[in-house]
Amino acid sequence: MQLLDGKALSQSIQLELKAEVEQIVAQGGRPPHLVAVLVGEHPASASYVRNKMRACERANFRSSLKKLPVDIAQEDLLAEIASLNQDPEVDGYILQLPLPAHIDEQLVTQAVAPEKDVDGFHPYNLGQMLLGEDSYLPATPMGMITLLERYGMETSGKEAVVIGRSNIVGRPMSVLLSRKHPQGNCTVTVLHSRSQNMAEHCRRADIIVAAIGQANFLTADMVKEGAIILDVGINAIDDPKAKRGYRLVGDVDFEGVKEKVSAITPVPGGVGPMTVVSLLMNCLKAYKTGAGKALEKQ
């Protein structure tokens, strides 16, 4: 069994990004600038944002945090987004989800300028991805594709199952695995809450992406020998022995399946760090198409 170590790979990629940024600065450019917009004090969201800011520091990116009150009016949030869209010093920004209930999440997401949408959530970028055109890919699916690429996992002609159909992970991942690409060309089945015979579908799969949000959902009896498992889930379960009284597990019963599969991502330390580094990769791309192009013209 090969452990697809997202933490180690993300650190390696951050060093690659750091070297590229150092070269940009040496040539008279500025570092890429990533902004995180955090509405309210959601603990998990605040933790995710901290991880992203730390990754920026390690890669020599400039990072900024814009904290907004939980009761901010929707029109005021839209005004903040418009300001970021127009700021030439901001290459990309992320609007940390979820947003408070009184905010129309879809409306606000669509207000983000596509060229600064390093999360890859804007309909324009999703449409470009669907067409196979150049775009900012959603960060979590992009991270998984990068894992497959860097670890040399063969995907062409394989049967893939994606468990979950969210717009952030499941649906885009199914598109990426089926596209004409070295880490694509799969025959893809998408499973969800209304799917019948889920275990039967999973047992046929060479690659399984588990993104359903249920702790230890995928068990050994649902996995065939030699499968590749990408576990997107992060679930807290009670554990009196743990320092905090709980521990994090994925959507896959890691201990149950690890001896049966050929490769698997751990939780934590698998897909999560790759999501963060994908944001940085998208931000550098945004810099190169915006501020970087302006520098070349000088």
CATH classification at residue 51: 3.40.50.10860
pLDDT at 27: 93
Catalytic residue among 91, 119, 251, 253: 119
Residue type, 151: Y
Q: Clarify whether residues 164 and 79 are in a common domain.
A: no
Query: pLDDT-derived band of residue 241, with 50, 70 and 90 as boundaries?
Result: confident
- Please give the average per-residue pLDDT across 85-110, as a whole number: 95
pLDDT at 178: 97
Task: Identify whether 298 is a catalytic site residue.
Answer: no
Q: Clarify whether residues 102 and 153 are in a common domain.
A: no
Q: Clarify whether residues 265 and 149 are in a common domain.
A: yes
194 is in an annotated binding site: no
Task: Identify whether 297 is a catalytic site residue.
Answer: no
Residue at 177 is within a domain: yes
Catalytic residue among 5, 52, 117, 285: 52
CATH classification at residue 207: 3.40.50.720
- Please give the average per-residue pLDDT across 261-289, as a whole number: 96
Residue at 55 is within a domain: yes
Task: Identify whether 96 is a catalytic site residue.
Answer: yes
Bridge partners (DSSP) listed for residue 2 = 263
229 is in an annotated binding site: no
Q: Domain of 202? A: 139-272
Q: Clarify whether residues 205 and 151 are in a common domain.
A: yes
Query: In this predicted model, which residue has the larger pLDDT, 48 or 147?
Result: 147
Residue type, 106: Q
Least confident among 107-111, 172-176, 192-196, 239-243: 239-243
The dihedral through the CA atoms of 145, 269, 207, 127 has a sign that is negative
Q: Clarify whether residues 143 and 252 are in a common domain.
A: yes
195 is in an annotated binding site: no
Residue at 159 is within a domain: yes
pLDDT for 5 beyond 70: yes
- Please give the average per-residue pLDDT across 230-259, as a whole number: 90
The string of DSSP codes covering 3-54 is: E--HHHHHHHHHHHHHHHHHHHHHTT----EEEEEEES--HHHHHHHHHHHH
End-to-end CA distance of the chain: 52
CB 62, CB 24: distance < 8 Å: no
Calpha distance 187→210 (Å, rounded): 16
Query: pLDDT-derived band of residue 290, with 50, 70 and 90 as boundaries?
Result: confident
Catalytic residue among 5, 14, 91, 96: 96
184 is in an annotated binding site: no
Q: Clarify whether residues 75 and 150 are in a common domain.
A: no
Q: How many domains, in total, are found in the chain? A: 2
pLDDT in tens, 6-53: 999 999 999 999 999 999 999 999 999 999 999 998 777 888 899 999
Q: Clarify whether residues 37 and 101 are in a common domain.
A: yes
Q: Clarify whether residues 104 and 156 are in a common domain.
A: no
The closest alpha carbon to 223, from 170, 249, 260, 195, belongs to 260
